[in-house]
């Protein structure tokens, strides 16, 4: 029988950016069940991950003691070992010894090779306070801006386009605004799988009469609810969106009053889209011209149209261009700045918005204050009580660039907290070789991840329900996650570990409660200035920007102006740039990577959650049934998938949703780590890799 909970702890879900509030039911030091709470983003709803993805915290493989690599254990061999035996290459150590080796070692590398010889990856799974202190440690303790996290792999291109076009990288309207929209355009996203509770609000909106336009190369579950589904050919986003804008301009549907009063650069955009008639683009994107015209008219003329997009848009070498087109579409039609309109890049991790806000990115301090902007460095130096000359005035290296710098010999030491680049980076064999080449790798995590395999020192950290902190969801909603249980064994809270390392890097930090970190952070972040810890404790959630303590928060932004120097948004035209690696005779198919409903990113948590693992236990490749039949593979049969960079074996699953010639593979399975195959080619603006397109070959057996 299920135990009766002794305590009920209000918190938020540790997985996706929807930010559902939940209750942990706790018995002793164990979570026994989870229930939905009435939070602003979920009103009691939870998906299968939020509801059942909690017992990873009690998994026997939790790290409970600091570990140090044995002297006779070469890193190159570790990756190929049986996972059950990898622990043998490490020995247990005291915290004192592990911290001395980690912090002292990083300090020595910095002193011997200069401050750019170190880099750090934080995590969008951590709290705002952890992100803030982590970037402060890198900037003041390492002395460079070499700090990044998985936002680089998720929406970096969207953010680049948004900052350029409208002056803010966050969403303009919350997900819940779909209930006020007349038209909802979902492109390059599969919310049923990746933002499940958001998908339920979209379905509720459709039930009330909202028209859903779904654009994606894969025919996702939302298609059942869509007014039109445009299953366009992979990699043809710009062609499709420019054709829609062509119709809007040519048919006089543009909102000229909005364009005149609130934007710049219309003429260049209109001239550019003039070349992209639906008739010319139809063969390219595989959507007939009349359908393109229909959805363009519908989007432009509705009382309120809202765009939601995902990584199908962002993870391309032209990801920034894709997002530029979506921004232009909204500006062209005045579909922004009111409830039920706007631009919503659906954030992946539960705190990817907050970690970015808190400065866990190489080009900006907290609140997107550029490291190169005059006066900014001085302001942070003063607040942090360090000489301005100590802070680097050049942007640091991004996630993929760090790997290149390691192999080129310029980065020699790394501190990785809660990220798993050995699984999540593109061309993962290359990334693993880079991690193995480091003089010193310090990994802070809750499990022996594939990245930790390559560590010199492993610091056992706290799981989500073992600490208190703030998390910012996709709607810019800052919410409080609360400590429900204690970390196991000698595992410690992440904030404590960061502070201990800071001391060993020569920093004189004295933080008591997490609220002190929050308070320092909000004083340096104008958008969070009005959010006090007391307010969060009382209300559980406040939406930023919130400039003053009496301010109610701002769910819908850009109602009057855009946060750019002249207050106006900017059109940026885009032209078609092909994917970096196109199919050919040797590698004739396209690989698209992504997620499954039951698993989260590299799988380190959900594959150790009993129910979720039981639902999806094995690596799968989703392939159109006709493609499978041509290969002579029966569903469930083993296939080998290969690209120029590597190969994996997995089980074939017949999938009507996949386009012919494309293979979809989730990236959570270590035994078939699909990022060994992906291409590390980067979008030049957001520096995001092209996870959504590379050439592969599929074979039976």
Binding site for ligand SF4 (CB under 6 A): 13, 15-16, 18-20, 42, 46-47, 49-50, 195-197
- Which of 524-529's residues contact partners 24+ apart within 8 Å by CB, and which partners? 524/365, 524/366, 524/367, 524/379, 524/380, 524/383, 525/357, 525/358, 525/366, 525/367, 526/367, 527/357, 527/367, 528/357, 528/367, 528/478
- Cβ proximity to ligand SF4: between 368 and 667 the closer is 667
Of 88, 86, 11, 132, residue with least CA distance to 516? 132
Q: Which residues pair with 696 in a beta bridge?
A: 589
- Residue 419 and residue 123 in contact, taking contact as beta carbons nearer than 8 Å: yes
Q: How far is the CB of 24 from ligand SF4 (least distance, A)?
A: 13
Interstrand relation of 369-370 and 364-365 (parallel, antiparallel or unpaired): antiparallel
- Residue 180 and residue 186 in contact, taking contact as beta carbons nearer than 8 Å: no
87 phi/psi in degrees, rounded to 5? -55, -30
Q: How far is the CB of 536 from ligand SF4 (least distance, A)?
A: 18
- Cβ proximity to ligand SF4: between 499 and 536 the closer is 536
Q: Which residue is nearest to ligand SF4 (CB)?
A: 50
Q: How far is the CB of 360 from ligand SF4 (least distance, A)?
A: 20
For every residue of 20-75, which 3-state class applies, written as one string? Answer: CEEEEEEECCEEEEEEECCCCCCCCCCCHHHHHCCHHHHCCCCCCCCEEECCCCCH
CA distance 29 to 346: 34
Q: How far is the CB of 626 from ligand SF4 (least distance, A)?
A: 33
- Cβ proximity to ligand SF4: between 38 and 378 the closer is 38
Neighbours of 298 (CB within 10 A): 17
CA distance 99 to 92: 13
53 phi/psi in degrees, rounded to 5? -90, 60
- Angle at the Cα of 359 (from 355 to 364), degrees rounded to 5? 140
Q: How far is the CB of 20 from ligand SF4 (least distance, A)?
A: 3
Of 403, 409, 397, residue with least CA distance to 432? 403
CA distance 625 to 652: 10
Coil vs helix vs strand at 184? strand
- Cβ proximity to ligand SF4: between 11 and 242 the closer is 11
- Cβ proximity to ligand SF4: between 45 and 653 the closer is 45
Q: How far is the CB of 287 from ligand SF4 (least distance, A)?
A: 30
Q: How far is the CB of 418 from ligand SF4 (least distance, A)?
A: 17
- Cβ proximity to ligand SF4: between 16 and 238 the closer is 16
Place of tokens 């070349």: 275
CA distance 376 to 515: 24
- Cβ proximity to ligand SF4: between 238 and 597 the closer is 597
- Cβ proximity to ligand SF4: between 20 and 569 the closer is 20
Q: How far is the CB of 46 from ligand SF4 (least distance, A)?
A: 4
Q: How far is the CB of 574 from ligand SF4 (least distance, A)?
A: 31
CA distance 484 to 539: 18
Q: How far is the CB of 471 from ligand SF4 (least distance, A)?
A: 10
Place of tokens 């703030």: 470
Q: How far is the CB of 352 from ligand SF4 (least distance, A)?
A: 12
- The distance in angstroms from the start CA to the end CA of the chain is 44
CA distance 633 to 623: 10
Residues near 283 by beta carbon (within 8 Å), at least 6 away in sequence: none
Residue 126 per-residue DSSP state? S
Tokens of 128: 């705002």
Neighbours of 489 (CB within 10 A): 11
Q: How far is the CB of 190 from ligand SF4 (least distance, A)?
A: 13
CA distance 570 to 164: 7
- Cβ proximity to ligand SF4: between 13 and 414 the closer is 13
- Cβ proximity to ligand SF4: between 206 and 411 the closer is 206
CA distance 268 to 574: 10
- Angle at the Cα of 239 (from 237 to 242), degrees rounded to 5? 100
Place of tokens 């420019």: 242
Q: How far is the CB of 568 from ligand SF4 (least distance, A)?
A: 35
Q: How far is the CB of 664 from ligand SF4 (least distance, A)?
A: 20
Of 686, 663, 695, residue with least CA distance to 153? 686
- Residue 171 and residue 398 in contact, taking contact as beta carbons nearer than 8 Å: no
Q: How far is the CB of 481 from ligand SF4 (least distance, A)?
A: 11
- Cβ proximity to ligand SF4: between 47 and 270 the closer is 47
């Amino acid at each position: 029988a299920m135990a009766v909970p002794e305590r009920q702890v209000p918190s938020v879900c540790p997985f996706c950016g929807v930010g559902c509030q939940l209750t942990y039911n706790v018995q002793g030091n164990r979570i026994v069940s989870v229930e939905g709470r009435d939070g602003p983003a979920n009103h009691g709803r939870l998906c299968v991950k939020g509801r059942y993805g909690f017992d990873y915290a009690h998994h026997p493989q939790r790290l409970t003691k600091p570990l140090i690599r044995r002297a006779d254990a070469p890193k190159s061999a570790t990756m190929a070992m049986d996972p059950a035996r990898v622990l043998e290459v490490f020995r247990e150590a005291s915290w004192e010894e592990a911290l001395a080796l980690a912090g002292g070692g990083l300090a020595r590398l910095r002193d011997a090779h200069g401050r750019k010889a170190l880099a750090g990856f934080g995590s969008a799974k951590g709290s705002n306070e952890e992100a803030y202190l982590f970037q402060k440690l890198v900037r003041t303790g390492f002395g460079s801006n070499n700090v990044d996290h998985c936002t680089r792999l998720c929406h970096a291109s969207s953010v680049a386009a948004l900052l350029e076009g409208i002056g803010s990288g966050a969403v303009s309207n919350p997900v819940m605004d779909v209930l006020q929209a007349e038209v909802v355009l979902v492109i390059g996203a599969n919310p049923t799988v990746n933002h499940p509770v958001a998908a339920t609000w979209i379905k509720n909106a459709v039930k009330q009469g909202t028209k859903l336009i779904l654009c994606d190369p894969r025919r996702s579950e939302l298609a059942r609810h869509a007014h039109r589904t445009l299953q366009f050919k992979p990699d043809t986003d710009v062609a499709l969106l420019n054709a829609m804008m062509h119709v809007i301009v040519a048919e006089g549907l543009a909102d000229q009053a909005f364009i005149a009063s609130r934007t710049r650069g219309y003429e260049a955009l209109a001239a550019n889209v003039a070349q992209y008639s639906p008739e010319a683009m139809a063969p390219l994107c595989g959507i007939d011209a009349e359908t393109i015209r229909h959805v363009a008219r519908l989007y432009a003329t509705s009382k309120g149209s809202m765009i939601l997009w995902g990584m199908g848009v962002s993870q391309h070498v032209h990801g920034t261009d894709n997002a530029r087109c979506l921004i232009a579409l909204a500006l062209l039609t005045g579909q922004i700045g009111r409830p039920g309109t706007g631009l919503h890049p659906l954030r992946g991790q539960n705190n990817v918005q907050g970690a970015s806000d808190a400065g866990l990115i190489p080009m900006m301090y907290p609140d997107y204050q550029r490291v190169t902007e005059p006066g900014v460095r001085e302001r942070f130096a003063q607040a942090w009580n360090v000489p301005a000359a100590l802070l680097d005035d050049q942007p640091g290296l991004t996630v993929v660039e760090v790997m290149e710098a390691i192999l080129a010999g310029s980065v020699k030491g790394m501190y990785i907290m809660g990220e798993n680049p050995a699984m999540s980076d593109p061309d993962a064999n290359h990334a693993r070789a880079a991690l193995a080449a480091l003089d010193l790798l310090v990994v802070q995590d809750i499990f022996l991840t594939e990245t930790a395999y390559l560590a010199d020192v492993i610091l056992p950290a706290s799981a989500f329900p073992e600490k208190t902190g703030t998390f910012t969801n996709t709607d810019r909603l800052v919410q409080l996650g609360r400590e429900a249980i204690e970390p196991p064994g000698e595992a410690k809270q992440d904030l404590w570990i960061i502070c201990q390392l800071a001391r060993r890097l020569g920093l004189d930090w004295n933080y008591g409660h997490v609220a002190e970190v929050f308070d320092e952070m909000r004083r340096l972040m104008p958008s969070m200035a009005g959010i006090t810890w007391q307010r969060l404790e009382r209300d559980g959630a406040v939406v930023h920007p919130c400039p003053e303590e009496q301010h109610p928060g701002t769910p819908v932004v850009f109602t009057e102006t855009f946060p750019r120097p002249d207050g106006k948004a900017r059109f940026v035209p885009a032209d078609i740039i092909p994917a970096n690696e196109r199919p050919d005779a040797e590698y004739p198919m396209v690989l698209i990577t992504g997620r499954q409903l039951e698993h989260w990113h590299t799988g380190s948590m959900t594959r150790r959650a009993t129910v979720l693992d039981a639902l999806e236990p094995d690596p799968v490749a989703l392939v159109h049934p006709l493609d499978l039949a041509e290969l002579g593979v029966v569903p469930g049969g083993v296939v080998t998938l290969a690209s120029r960079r590597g190969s994996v074996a997995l089980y074939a699953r017949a999938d009507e949703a996949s386009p012919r010639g494309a293979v979809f593979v989730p990236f959570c399975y270590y035994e078939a780590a699909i990022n060994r195959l992906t291409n590390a080619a980067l979008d030049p603006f957001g520096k995001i890799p092209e996870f959504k397109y590379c050439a592969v070959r599929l074979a039976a057996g």
